Amino acid sequence: MTAVSEPVAASRTRDAERVRRWLRGYGLLSPALAVMIAMLALPVAALVLLSFWTQHGFELDRSPTIENYAQLVRLKDEPTVWFGIPFYFAYPVPAILMIKSLVMSLSATVAVIALAYPMAYFLAFRVTRNKAMWIILITIPFWTSYLLRVFAWKIVLGFNGAINSGLKALGIIDQPLEFLLYNPGAVVITLAHSWVAFAILPIYVSLEKIDRSLLEAASDLGDSKLKRFLRITLPLSAPGTVAAALLVFIPTVGDYVTPTLVGGPGGTMIGNLVQELFLKQNNAPLGAAVAITMMLIIAVIVAIFLWAIGYRRIRSRRM
């Protein structure tokens, strides 16, 4: 005689089944997670520790202190004015560079998505043959080195560069345009060009999986092309587009190579500060504090962004 009633037995099997699924899931995750823990958890922990220490010459003072963080937010009465914005920080440089970096990488991200989306759309819906070839062709310019591509942009935008020489030959200008290179605009163009492949791939991948019968159904129901795009294609490709935006936005905030190469004297970004603190200024603890603060700010911005667009809803949408 069994003492257990039917529904309880069923729920037990369901529980056991769920636990088994979880174990399988963790099993699948474990190799990647192991790599990340071995190579990332340790550096991050070291970074956090370091940010609470102090550097004296070549010696590290390991007594814990929050002085490094306090330095970043300490106020003074007389503001440092930058771009018309008063900063009341005693050490305003990190705050100013953070804002500058966010604005630059946000512009670059918008430019990248605007450039990449139509191309991904083209790849997913218009290219019917040789798709793999098209995708590889789009990434080939990225197989040449980054430094060479930046150099190429300098030739395009430069004083005797392609644009200026072309315009001069056409008789449109007498004197070379000098505003093309060494300004934030040049940084945004160069960043957009360098990152566009990283945006095309995720967007393409999510467009590619859209069930074509949905689109046909919409047309059959009398939707115009535009309406069909707005109601079906755009929402269904949102996960890839959001992923692409984040993949471009997050790393470019901390980028410092492009701004220094084409941005001119005003090209410094927050990544440069971290680099200088770690190497030239011999103040790794303060550099660690700046890096951690920067990471937290980015995390908060990303969280707000995902919440604002209702990412959970987008992700769980089924086709």
Partner 1 sequence: MQRIKFIDRMAQGKMSRRQMLQSASAFGVGALFLPRPTAAAEVLTCLEWGGYDSADYFQAYVDKYGAQPNFSIFAGEEDALAKVLAGFAADVMHPCNYSVARFVNAGVAAEIDTSRLSHWNDIFPALQSAEGVIWDGKTVMAPADWGNSSLAYRPDLLPPEFNENPTWAIFYDEEYKGRVAMTDNEMAIIIGAMVGGMPYDEAYKLEGAALEAAAKEWGTKAVNVSKFLWTDSSEVQQAMASGEIVAAYAWNDLIANLRAEGVPVEFAKPKEGMFTWFCGLTLLNTGKADEQAAYDFIDAWLSPETGKALIEGSGYGHANMKAFDIADPEALANMGITDPVAMMADTIVFKTPSDAVQEGFNKVWGDTKALKY
Partner 2 sequence: MLRRLDAVWIYAILFVIFLYGPVLLMPVFALNDGTFATFPLKGFTLKNFSSMAANTSMILALQNSLKIAISVAILATALAIPASLALTRFRLPGGGPIQSFMMLPLVIPSIVIAVALLVIILKIFGIQLSLWTVAAGHVLICLPFCMSVLMARLEGFDPSLEEASRDLGCTAWQTFWRLTFPLAVPGVISSLLMGFIISFDEFVIAFFLTGTENTLPVYLFSQLRFPNKLPGVLALGSLILVGSAVLVIAAEVIRKRGAPSNNPGDY
Q: What does DSSP assign to residue 180? A: S
Q: Which stretch binds partner 1 (CB under 8 A): 3-11, 37-45, 238-246, 278-286?
A: 278-286
97 binds, among partner 1, partner 2, none (CB under 5 to 8 A by kind): partner 1
Residues 306, 242: contact at Cβ < 8 Å?
yes
Q: How far apart are alpha carbons 127 and 20 in whole angstroms?
A: 42
According to DSSP, the β-strands at 54-56 and 59-61 are: antiparallel
Distance in Å, CB of 203 to partner 1, minimum? 18
Nearer of residues 85 and 162 to partner 2, judged by Cβ: 162
Query: Which of 98, 113, 138, 180: binder of partner 2 (CB under 8 A)?
Result: 138
- State which of positions 64-123 bind partner 2 (CB under 8 A): 115, 118-119, 121-122
Buried b / exposed e along 17-48 (16+ C-beta atoms within 10 A): eeeeeeeeeeeeeeeeeeeeeeeeeeeeeebe
Nearest distance from residue 159's CB to partner 1, in Å? Answer: 3
Nearer to partner 1, 40 or 303 (CB): 40
196 binds, among partner 2, partner 1, none (CB under 5 to 8 A by kind): partner 2
Q: What residues from 262 to 301 belong to the interface with partner 2 (CB under 8 A)?
A: 270-271, 274-275, 278, 284, 287-288, 291, 294-295, 298-299
Burial 167-203 (b: 16+ CB within 10 A, else e): eeeeeeeeeeeeebbbbbebbbbbbbbbbbbbbbbbb
Query: Is there binding between residue 83 and partner 1 (CB under 8 A)?
Result: yes
> Token pair of 85, please?
């914005």
Closest CB 299 distance from partner 2, rounded Å: 7
The least distance separating partner 1 from the CB of residue 270, rounded to whole angstroms, comes to 9
Q: Which residue's CB is nearer to partner 2, number 1 or number 226?
A: 226
Phi, psi of 51 (to 5 degrees): -70, -10
Residue that is written with structure tokens 């990488």 in the block? 105
CB 199 within 8 Å of CB 176: no
Find the binding residues for partner 1 in span 133-192 (CB under 8 A).
133, 136, 154, 158-160, 178, 182
The Cα–Cα gap between 161 and 179 comes to 12
Q: Give φ, ψ of 54 to 5 degrees.
A: -135, 145
Identified binder of partner 2 from the candidate list 132, 170, 226, 308, rule CB under 8 A: 132
Q: Which of 198, 283, 292, 302 binds partner 1 (CB under 8 A)?
A: 283
Q: Which is nearer to partner 1, 100 or 193 (CB)?
A: 100
Please identify which residue in 36, 66, 81, 300 interacts with partner 2, judged by CB under 8 A: 36
Residue 247 CB-half CA count within 13 A: 19
Q: How far apart are CA 31 and CA 27, in angstroms?
A: 8
Q: Which of residues 85-144 bind partner 1 (CB under 8 A)?
A: 92-93, 96-97, 100, 131-133, 136
Which residues form the interface with partner 1 (CB under 8 A)? 57-58, 80, 82-83, 92-93, 96-97, 100, 131-133, 136, 154, 158-160, 178, 182, 260-261, 264-266, 268, 272-273, 276, 278-283
